[in-house]
Amino acid sequence: MAFNLQSAIDDLFKPPSRLQSLVDRAVGPQRDEPDLALNLDICDLVNRKKGNYPHDAVFALLPYINGRAPAQAQLALTLLDNLVKNCGHPVHYQIGSREFLNELFRRFPEYQPSLTNAVHYRVLEMLQEWRVSLCQRSRYREDLQRINDMYALLCRKGWRFPRIDSDNVAVVLEPEDTLKTKDELEKEDMDAMQAKLQELLRRATPRDLREANKLMKVITGYEQSTKQRDYNKEWEDELQALEHKSTVLHEMLREADPGRAIDDTVQELLNKCTSSLTRLRRLIAEHEAGEGADERGDLDRMVRLSDMIGEAVEAAKELRCGRKPQLRALGTNGTGAEPQAAADVNELISWDDDTDSAPNPAPNPDTVATSISPLDDLAGLSFHTLQPSTPSSSTVPLQSPPAQVQPMTNPSLPADSQQARMHRAAATVKQNDAFDFSDLLAAAKSASAKPNAARTASWGSSPDSAKSNPNKSLIDFMS
């Protein structure tokens, strides 16, 4: 690119921007200590304006950090630390870029000297904080891998990093158990994508422009991202984690002894739940205007969680005073009674009309009187009306009875006896009834009354008569 003298002169003599003026005031040589109020004003300006302001604010500090005035370098590092802790991912993306890291360590020697100056020590400490916090806990850690690369490079060169304070690491990012709604999570992702898009357009290399084109399609909704997050699931996981912590805290406080010091584990768990209590109450106030079923369900759940945590805080105070707290029993879902038991109680009281519980109506006498008896059904049966069907291989076809039922006689009775005549008359009258066995019963009764000899004699002459009359039944011969 050809050098443009006019453009360089214009940049040299143009007045500084408001951001540059505030940075110059914050790290001016007249200051002996950092001005926290002025630093926070710069952070608010960066958060409001966005766009190129994160890049301009961060890179405006590099000349002071690499300058020859140690006091100004310390002030610039303090302002950089405030920007990292208060401006979110737009600034994190800038400090994780290759250009910034190369410029930040430009004045470092290749190997660590025996006596490290205060500026180098502070830069190494801040890099260690960024690696432990941002590169491990950030939702967008894949954009900050340059920090890990710089840390590995310095370690290979023999640089030793100082031990960092855990409190400083904790404030770089928000606490891990911070409760965020679905809208807040979506807005945070949108801000991160816009910051990345702004930086890609600023660099404007062919590779950056191709990536910016893909990112713009995702932001506008033209395409779906391959790393699309499920905000409903994340919100549900946050609520379940808080419910689990509250339930465990209740159990620990219930088993604690009054008057004794609270265990460190219980105290840490209590501090985490207490820090979420303020956030919960704020979310409850914001969700009270919600009219949808989802908002109403989330509101009820957050109210129960707020009551549980508030009860745990009061129980901890009573334990410190030497009194045994009265904590309610929690169910499996951590919200009071068992869900199934509550459902059973609700089912005991029902205001709806239940047709199953109504008494059975009295039977109608007319219906009972006109009902058909089973004997009438049997009397109407007829083997002559059976329809022919194709028998299967596993069934035996039914044999239809003779067309005319012959009167059944008993050969053991004399032909001219009165009993025989009555038997023949009854058989003649009832020959149309195929299911009438009264004649057989009468013949069997009369045969049992005769002597055994006469029955034997009559049985001896029965084969001939059986052969002469093939229409007789087998039951007649046995009687």
- CA–CA separation, 113 and 426 (whole Å): 137
Nearest Cα neighbor of 261 from 321, 327, 314, 310 is 321
According to the model, what pLDDT value does residue 47 have?
Answer: 92
The confidence band for 448, taking pLDDT boundaries of 50, 70 and 90, is low
Which of 220, 190, 181 lies closest to 89 in space, CA to CA? 190
Please write down the long-range contacts of 172-177, taking CB distance under 8 Å and 24 or more positions apart.
172/84, 172/85, 172/129, 172/130, 172/133, 172/134, 173/133, 173/134, 173/137, 173/138, 175/272, 175/275, 176/137, 177/241, 177/242, 177/245, 177/272, 177/275, 177/276
* Mean pLDDT, range 52-66, rounded to an integer: 94
User: For residue 353, what pLDDT is reported?
Assistant: 45
Q: By mean pLDDT, which of 63-77, 327-341, 384-398, 417-431 is the weakest?
A: 384-398
Mean pLDDT of 75-92: 93
| Percentage of the chain exceeding pLDDT 90 | 24
pLDDT recorded at residue 314? 87
Q: Model confidence at 427, in pLDDT bands (50, 70, 90)? A: low
User: Under a CB-based contact definition with an 8 Å cutoff, are residues 96 and 147 in contact?
Assistant: yes
Cβ pair 274, 177 in contact under 8 A = no
Share of the chain above pLDDT 70, in %: 61
Residue 34 confidence class, pLDDT cut points 50, 70, 90: very high
- Sequence-distant (≥ 6) Cβ neighbours of residue 368 within 8 angstroms: none
| pLDDT, average across residues 20-34 | 92
Sign of CA dihedral 357, 362, 368, 370: negative
- Would you put residue 127 in left (φ > 0), alpha (ψ -120 to 50) or beta? alpha
The pLDDT assigned to 438 comes to 63
* Positive or negative torsion for Cα 238, 241, 243, 246: negative
- Phi first, then psi: give them for residue 432, nearest 5 degrees: -80, -10
Whole-number average pLDDT of the chain: 74
pLDDT at residue 239 tops 80 = yes
Residue 30 has pLDDT above 70, yes or no: yes
Q: Which two tokens stand for residue 43?
A: 């952070």
Position 232 scores a pLDDT of 84
The 10s digit of each residue's pLDDT in 199-228 is: 899 888 999 999 999 989 888 888 777 777
Is it the case that residue 68 has pLDDT exceeding 60?
yes
Give the DSSP letter of residue 290: -
Contact, 26 vs 46, CB < 8 A?
no
User: Which tokens is 215 given?
Assistant: 């990112």
- The closest alpha carbon to 272, from 170, 124, 163, belongs to 170
Whole-structure pTM value: 0.61
DSSP state of 355: S
Report pLDDT for 477: 38
Query: Quick one: 479 exposed, middle or buried, by C-beta within 10 A (0-12, 13-18, 19+)?
Result: buried
Give the separation between CA 400 and CA 387, rounded to whole angstroms: 11
On whether the CB atoms of residues 284 and 302 are closer than 8 A, the answer is yes
Q: Nearest CA to 96 among 132, 145, 168? A: 145
pLDDT reported for residue 371: 45
pLDDT-based confidence at 471, cuts 50/70/90?
very low
pLDDT tens-digit profile of 319-371?
888 888 777 766 544 444 444 444 443 444 444 444 444 444 454 544 444 44
Looking at residues 456-466, what average pLDDT do you find? Answer: 44
Residue 370 in 3-state DSSP?
coil
Cβ neighbours around 401 below 10 Å, total: 10
Mean local confidence (pLDDT), 301-317? 87
44-60 mean pLDDT? 92
pLDDT in the model for residue 392 = 44
Residue 414, pLDDT above cutoff 70: no
Residue 20 pLDDT > 60 = yes
pLDDT at site 213: 92
Tokens linked to 386? 């059976």
At 444 the pLDDT is 64
State the pLDDT at residue 113: 86
* The pLDDT of residue 65: 95
Number of helical (H) and strand (E) elements in the chain, helices listed first: 23, 0
DSSP 417: S
> 3-state DSSP: the chain helix, strand, coil percent, rounded to 5?
60, 0, 40
Q: How far is CA 10 from CA 4, 17, 24, 452, in A?
A: 10, 14, 20, 149
Q: Exposed/middle/buried for 179, CB within 10 Å: 0-12, 13-18, 19+? A: buried
Specify the pLDDT at position 146.
Answer: 93
Q: Which residue has the higher pLDDT, 184 or 397?
A: 184
Instruction: Give the residue-averaged pLDDT of 380-393.
Output: 46
- Between CA 104 and CA 74 the distance in angstroms is 13
Mean pLDDT value of segment 273-297: 74
What integer pLDDT is reported at residue 279 of this predicted model?
83
User: Mapping DSSP to helix (H, G, I), strand (E, B) and coil, where does residue 362 land?
Assistant: coil
Q: Which of 348, 47, 19, 25 is nearest to 188 (CA)?
A: 47
Residue with tokens 């370098």: 73
Q: Is the pLDDT of residue 398 over 60?
A: no
Residue 271 has pLDDT above 60, yes or no: yes
Residues 6+ apart with CB under 8 A from 75: 26, 27, 31, 34, 64
3-state secondary structure of 390: coil
Give which of 316, 281, 299, 100 is closest to 199, Cα–Cα. Answer: 100
Q: CB of 449 within 8 A of CB of 423?
A: no
